[in-house]
Amino acid sequence: MLNYFKIMDIKFKIITYIRANSAEPGPPLGTSLGNIGINALKFCKEFNEFTQDLPNYFLIKVEINVFENKSYTFVIWLPSIGYFLSILQKEEIIKDINGSLYNIRYLDIVDFFKLVKFILPTYPLEKASSILYGTLVSANITLKS
């Protein structure tokens, strides 16, 4: 049996960080893509459409694979859980009975469940929330309603 599909070799691989829904065809991204024969305007349009539902403060790792025939694909990785926690966590200074001040980091319960559904959408809610709660405990972040 003949194999009719030839797997194309990757000629260039670019790994960069781009803010969600904020790719622009100007330098430095446009210059990098243009130097290897990729239409930067087309790439930016496709990337921005792909990430339009994400907030623009998400800094996304993007891998752009360019093939011999100048076609390309891109793969995005969402930020880590630690990145989300650094954005969503809040701080509060409380005073104990002895008058000592403590800085407490916490996450609202509503933000917690939004994060659970976003990070682990295919997991059952109970299992996903226990995974994320373990991350909160190890980061010394408490939950607050």
71, 108: one domain: no
pLDDT averaged over the chain? 88
Q: How many domains does the chain have?
A: 2
51, 18: one domain: yes
Domain containing 21 equals 10-77
Q: Tens of pLDDT along 12-66? A: 899 999 998 999 999 999 999 999 889 999 999 999 999 888 888 888 899 999 9
86, 122: one domain: yes
pTM of this structure: 0.66
42, 64: one domain: yes
Q: Which residue has the tokens 């930016």?
A: 44
71, 92: one domain: no
CB distance 14 to 34 below 8 Å:
no
CATH number assigned to the domain comprising residue 35: 3.30.1550.10
46, 73: one domain: yes
